[in-house]
Amino acid sequence: MKSSKEQIARLFSIRNMYGKKASSEKLQILNSILIKTSTNKKLLQDSYAALLFMIAYPDNKTVYNIANTLLKQLRDHIQKNEKAAYSLYNTGITGTSVCAAFSFEVVKWLRKTRPGDITLSSFEADDDKIQTVLSVVMPKTESEIFQDGNAEWKGWLKQLKKNEEDLLDQFISIFDSSDIRSGVKEELWNTIGLNVEINFSTHCCLPESLISPFYHRSLIRKEIKKQAPLVKPVRVKLSENEAEQIIDCSKMILVRHLREIDPTSFTDLKYVSYYQLPRGFSIALMGMVPEHRHPVDSYLSYTIFKNGLPVSYGGSWILFDSGRFGFNVFPDYRGGESKYMFELLLQLHSKVFNLKRFTVDPYQIGKDNSDGIHSGSFWIYYHAGFRPLQKEQRELAASEAAKILNNKKYRSPASVLKTLANSRQELIMQKSAVRFDVTDLSRAYAGILKEKFNGNRLKAEKDSAKKLAGILQIKNYQDDNINFVLKNWSLLLLSCEKELLQNSGLKKLLKKLFMMKAKGSEEDYIKTLQQSPDLKKMMEGLLEKYLDTF
């Protein structure tokens, strides 16, 4: 009889193989494997990864059910075995713990939803820096006590502590009650480097009401365009509880991997939409609450689920009918239907948001991103139809693609992938699509600042929001969210002031857009932005004039 080590290694190696022989072997190993006896870190990690994969991509109902049962046994075993749990520290496996610094919003949410699973571990900042930050966040009347050595922060907070409170509760309360703008508050929170320890006592999965398992005879390895056409995505009307669990699962899978993405961290129930797709896939789209939104484009996030498990995440930055994309598959699910999954994602965004162009930034394909190089992210985008914008990378990619076509065993070396990652990539669905992103507008903004104001930022931006509000007849321009949007658009729009003043239709549309961005729905903002050819033309004119000056 094979050892547990050999059995688990074999199970992991055949997890993405299908057919009668592979299915029979999986069942034989699953029925004989002794998960409860192992304390070896690699064996436990491989067991966990193989079981997750077989739940996401099961051969049949029997494999699916046994893998689920064994996953629960593995969790119980780890929770009861201190040595096993310690060896798996910071892996994110159920039954273990991680320790890291997360955003204020995520820590507050974890304390509210899992009070017994999160504790304060340490601070990265020294006492002087922590006291300085508290002096900024706390009411001035209270923080005066820290001046001239009258008190130090630890002793002061200890005196004010309620019986049921601990230091983590106090920090959350202090930051939560501050009226500092949310983005600034988050930066201050990051400055103190508050590390928390989080225990994962339950698995990360959607509720049963949203799961309809799909069983595989094989995996789709090729591009979707060579397979059957995509069926129309079905938007699911969510209950409040289902929307909460989608958010919970999306946040927790990122926490397990020591990651965050703003739209997922700063979303709310009413900004979540959920779509059922073929082969057990489903996608949740999430927008941010108004106070955290980007002022010009729309930054959204998504989580892709497979048989109810979160298998992929990323973000999209949408402007007019163009979207910048980031696509990430969690390590345990690599070797599955990543290409197919990505193209489902693109088609869903194209359908929901009427997008005609997609781009990807260098970081997403490996620039200063070792995981992107290791996972070969470049080729996922390339096979979906993306091509480098730079000539050098475009020619290198074509050469590498030819090598792969002629030699199925060939793999682009890391050095080549790093070179390929030095260019943005683009996929054009329709020639009428806008050919710029907010990154291009950033360069135009800098060009205007340099050319028209000789780099004098104060002169360029002083009273610009108020002036633009007057032109657009926005009376509540001092509202924090409205003012933030106005400030970020003002330099661009006032550079075309004469044209703007003469276009009453554009003025009305801009007022409507800004109110949507500050108070309404990002989906409505995107749709309304696409109905403004005059604004699109104005931005294209600015890019033509100023893009090459910076």
pLDDT in tens, 328-360: 999 999 999 999 999 999 999 999 999 999 999
Same domain, 119 and 145: yes
Cα dist from 24 to 5, 18, 519, whole Å: 19, 10, 56
Q: Identify the bridge partners of residue 382 per DSSP, sorted by sequence position.
A: none
Domain boundary residue among 366, 399, 428?
428
In a domain, 354, yes or no: yes
Alpha-carbon torsion, ordered 98, 99, 104, 105, to 10 deg: 0
Same domain, 465 and 342: no
Angle, vertex CA 127, rays to CA 122 and CA 132, nearest 5: 120
Give the number of other CB atoms < 10 A from CB of residue 129. Answer: 14
pLDDT tens figures, 226-268:
444 556 889 999 999 999 999 999 999 999 999 999 999 999 9
User: Which SS3 state, helix, strand or coil, does residue 388 take?
Assistant: strand
Alpha-carbon torsion, ordered 77, 81, 87, 88, to 10 deg: 40
pLDDT tens figures, 189-203:
999 999 999 999 999
298-306 and 281-286 beta bridge pairing: antiparallel
Same domain, 40 and 152: no
85, HSE (Cβ side, Cα atoms, 13 Å): 17
Same domain, 143 and 32: no
| Residue 123: DSSP 8-state | E
Domain boundary residue among 403, 428, 453?
428
Please tell me the distance from the alpha carbon of residue 78 to that of residue 44, in angstroms, as a whole number.
9
Same domain, 398 and 353: yes
Quote the number of domains for the chain: 4
In a domain, 283, yes or no: yes
Same domain, 252 and 357: yes
Same domain, 282 and 347: yes
Same domain, 271 and 368: yes
Give the pair of three-digit tokens for residue 280: 């057990």
pTM here?
Answer: 0.94
Same domain, 50 and 83: yes
Give me the chain's average pLDDT, please: 93
Give the number of other CB atoms < 10 A from CB of residue 231. Answer: 9
CB of 534 closer than 8 Å to CB of 305: no
In a domain, 347, yes or no: yes
The domain of 444 spans 438-549
In a domain, 214, yes or no: no
Could you tell me the CATH number of the domain that includes residue 360?
3.40.630.30
In a domain, 220, yes or no: no
Same domain, 281 and 378: yes
Same domain, 372 and 263: yes
Q: Rounded mean pLDDT of 352-375?
A: 92
CB of 482 closer than 8 Å to CB of 514: yes
In a domain, 314, yes or no: yes
Helix (H) or strand (E) holding 381: helix 377-383
Kindly report the backbone phi and psi dihedral angles of residue 528, in degrees, each rounded to the nearest multiple of 5, phi listed first. Answer: -70, -40
CB of 409 closer than 8 Å to CB of 511: no
In a domain, 330, yes or no: yes
Q: Which pLDDT value is given to residue 229?
A: 54
In a domain, 212, yes or no: no
Kindly report the backbone phi and psi dihedral angles of residue 308, in degrees, each rounded to the nearest multiple of 5, phi listed first. Answer: 90, -10
Please tell me the distance from the alpha carbon of residue 288 to that of residue 299, in angstroms, as a whole number.
8
- Band (pLDDT 50/70/90 cuts) for residue 536 is very high
Same domain, 23 and 166: no
Q: Is the pLDDT of residue 224 over 60?
A: no
Q: Is the pLDDT of residue 304 over 70?
A: yes
